[in-house]
């Protein structure tokens, strides 16, 4: 089982320097015909290497799965269950050849993947892209997991709408240097993706300075742009003692999830419980959204899905702080390591909200003074700048320590991640890209930027 909390992520210096060295590599002197041929040959060779890496990773994943299935089959007494009928085998291989069709055109061999009964991860363009992202973080094809690949694919698809608007335009605009017209074009593009005024100005200024000093090709300018964006995303981590996000082992960690109604708090709780349980943490959920009757039922359903106990108070109009009190007692009695607290987003007014969150916080400080408390703001990416304005109210009400960005699938406003980092000075901790239990993962600035900007 894959442990997302212990995943080695190439954030900060490591990945940034990877990117700078890529930028150095692509730096070429003024194009003379012979050199441009050389460059082309090098590009081709690099593509071939990336492809080989991806193929090896794919083969490894398939072999791992085959080994697991064989093991499972030898343990189970009824082998008929796992062997597909000839007709289902036929239909699967048909599916496969169809989906690999575009790859044949791009020269990707389709004969390598061994025959599989359930090809969950397909060897397609997204697979090759995901492999490239992992390879550039220093990974080897032998230690790549199917879970990581399928998440990267989902992240890339989730940011698809934002990317399409952003990149094609950027490429043509940046290609002509950064005169005033280009700068105002880029400004418009970034604002449209909800990057926000502050981050946009910073990007334009930094990029402008660089382009004034050096002449960069559009490819190099985009590589530099990626570095700037990653820096913006990583900046809030610098102020933290411990930039990691994993719950402390053998201690009680309490994560308070706040945010306006519909942002995705309850869903996120379910997904986080699932991640934590799979990573070996013992986890408990507190159903402290007592404002809505249905809220408790909803969080209980998520608790069942994630195989996590939910502490709730069955009475009507119960005090959320009392539920948190009970949940801390339960967590302490069971030596739980992570307590996830669901809170209400729909309160009558700001004063009400502030009072309720402050009261919960007081209970936590009193009852669990040694607990490591995180106050996470859940933000719906489709809300863009509006979400940020609501966030300001919450940052007054709760001492926020990070953000969970949800609904990245279906949003053309993925740029809001930059506005969050710049305007709220909060690190993004998790990112949601779908309604399913597996559709939430820890945030990696490096991977986010790669998925946001291609090329």
Q: Which residues sit at the interface with ligand GTP, rule CB under 6 A? A: 259, 261-267, 289, 295, 345-346, 378, 406-407, 409-410, 432-435, 439
Any contact of residue 274 with Mg ion (CB under 5 A)?
no
State phi, psi for 404 to the nearest 5 degrees.
Answer: -110, 120
Pick between residue 131 and residue 411 the one whose CB is nearest to ligand GTP: 411
Nearest to 423 by CA among 197, 245, 191: 197
Using DSSP's 3-state secondary structure scheme, residue 347 falls into: coil
Residue 290 binds Mg ion (CB under 5 A): no
Q: Which does 263 bind (CB under 5 to 8 A by kind): Mg ion, ligand GTP, none?
A: ligand GTP
Among ligand GTP, Mg ion, none, what does residue 435 contact (CB within 5–8 Å per kind)?
A: ligand GTP
Dist. CA 136–CA 8, nearest whole Å: 13
Residue pair 267/301 in contact (Cβ under 8 Å)? The answer is no
Please state the closest distance from residue 289 (CB atom) to ligand GTP, in A.
6
Q: Which residue is nearest to Mg ion (CB)?
A: 266
Stretches 139-147, 206-214, 261-269, 410-418: which one binds Mg ion (CB under 5 A)?
Answer: 261-269
With CB cut-offs between 5 and 8 Å by kind, which of ligand GTP, Mg ion, none does residue 346 bind?
ligand GTP
Long-range contacts (CB closer than 8 Å, 24 or more residues apart) made by 207-214: 207/178, 208/178, 208/183, 211/177, 211/178, 212/178
**Beta partners for 284?**
309, 339
Q: In what order do the strands lie in the sheet with 372-380?
A: 309-311, 283-287, 338-342, 253-258, 372-380, 402-406, 428-432, 440-442
How big is the site for Mg ion, counted in residues (CB under 5 A)?
2
Structural contact between residues 259 and 288, judged by C-beta atoms closer than 8 angstroms: no
- Cα 448 off chain centre by: 7
What is the Cα–Cα distance from 428 to 405, expressed in whole angstroms? 7
CB of 349 to ligand GTP, least distance (A): 15
Instruction: Supply the minimum distance, in Å, between the C-beta of residue 151 and ligand GTP.
Output: 13
Minimal distance, residue 298 CB to ligand GTP, in Å: 6
Residue ranges in 80-119 that form contacts with Mg ion under rule CB under 5 A? none
Which CB atom, from 131 or from 343, has the smaller least distance to Mg ion? 343
Nearer to ligand GTP, 42 or 346 (CB): 346
Selection from 155, 134, 170, 236 nearest residue 414 by Cα: 155
* C-alpha span between 145 and 147 (Å, rounded): 5
**Pair 297, 334: CB distance under 8 Å:** no
Q: Which residues pair with 402 in a beta bridge?
A: 376
Provide the token pair at 223: 């590589």
**Which of 185/289 has CB closer to ligand GTP?**
289
Q: How far is the CB of 50 from ligand GTP (least distance, A)?
A: 30
* Residue 259, contacted partner among ligand GTP, Mg ion, none, CB below 5-8 A by kind: ligand GTP
Residue 262's binding partner, choosing from Mg ion, ligand GTP, none, with beta-carbon cut-off 5 to 8 A by kind? ligand GTP
Q: How many C-beta atoms surround the C-beta of residue 421 within 10 A?
A: 25
Residue 268 binds Mg ion, judged by CB under 5 A:
no
3-class state of residue 404 by DSSP: strand
Task: Note whether 418 and 232 are within 8 A (CB).
Answer: yes
Secondary structure class of 112 (helix, strand, coil): coil
- Interacting stretch for Mg ion, rule CB under 5 A, among 21-29, 206-214, 263-271, 321-329? 263-271
Closest distance of CB 290 from ligand GTP, Å? 11
CB of 212 or CB of 346, closer to ligand GTP: 346
C-beta closer to Mg ion: residue 296 or 433: 296
CB nearer to ligand GTP: pick between 230 and 267: 267
- Minimum Å gap between C-beta 49 and Mg ion is 47
Binding residue (CB under 5 A) for Mg ion from 145, 231, 266, 343:
266
Question: Which residues would be at the binding site for Mg ion (CB under 5 A)?
Answer: 265-266
């Amino acid at each position: 089982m894959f442990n997302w909390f212990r995943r080695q992520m190439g954030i900060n210096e490591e990945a940034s320097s990877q990117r700078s060295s890529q930028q150095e590599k692509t730096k070429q002197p003024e194009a003379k015909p012979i050199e441009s041929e050389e460059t082309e040959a090098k590009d081709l060779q690099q593509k071939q290497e990336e492809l080989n890496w991806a193929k090896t990773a794919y083969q490894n994943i398939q072999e791992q799965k085959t080994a697991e299935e064989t093991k499972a089959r030898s343990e189970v007494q009824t082998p008929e269950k796992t062997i597909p009928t000839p007709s289902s085998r036929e239909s699967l291989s048909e599916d496969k050849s169809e989906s690999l069709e575009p790859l044949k055109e791009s020269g990707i061999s389709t004969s390598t993947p061994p025959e599989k009964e359930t090809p969950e991860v397909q060897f397609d363009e997204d697979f090759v892209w995901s492999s490239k992202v992992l390879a550039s973080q220093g990974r080897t094809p032998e230690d790549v997991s199917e879970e990581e690949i399928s998440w990267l694919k989902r992240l890339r698809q989730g940011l698809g709408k934002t990317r399409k608007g952003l990149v094609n335009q950027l490429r043509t605009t940046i290609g002509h240097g950064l005169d005033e017209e280009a700068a105002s074009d880029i400004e418009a593009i970034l604002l449209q993706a909800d990057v926000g005024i502050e981050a946009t100005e910073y990007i334009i200024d930094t990029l402008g300075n660089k382009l004034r000093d050096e002449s960069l090709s559009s490819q190099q300018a985009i590589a530099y742009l990626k570095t700037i964006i990653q820096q913006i995303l990583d900046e809030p981590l610098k102020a933290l003692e411990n930039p990691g996000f994993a719950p402390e082992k053998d201690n009680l960690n309490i994560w308070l999830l706040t945010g306006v109604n519909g942002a995705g708090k309850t869903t996120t709780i379910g997904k986080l419980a699932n991640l934590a349980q799979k990573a070996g943490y013992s986890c408990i959920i507190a159903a402290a959204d007592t404002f809505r009757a249905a809220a408790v039922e909803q969080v209980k359903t998520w608790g069942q899905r994630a195989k996590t106990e939910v502490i709730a108070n069955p009475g009507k109009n119960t005090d959320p702080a009392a539920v948190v009190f009970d949940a801390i007692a339960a967590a302490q009695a069971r030596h739980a390591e992570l307590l996830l607290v669901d809170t209400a987003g729909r309160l009558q007014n700001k004063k009400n909200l502030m009072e309720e969150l402050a009261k919960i916080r007081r209970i936590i400080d009193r009852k669990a003074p040694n607990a490591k408390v995180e106050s996470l703001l859940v933000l719906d990416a489709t809300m863009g700048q509006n979400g940020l304005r609501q966030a300001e109210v919450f940052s007054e009400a709760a001492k926020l320590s990070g953000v969970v960005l949800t609904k990245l699938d279906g949003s053309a406003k993925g740029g809001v991640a930059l506005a969050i980092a710049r305007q709220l000075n909060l690190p993004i901790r998790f990112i949601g890209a779908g309604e399913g239990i597996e559709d939430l993962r820890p945030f990696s600035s490096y991977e986010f930027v790669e998925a946001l900007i291609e090329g």
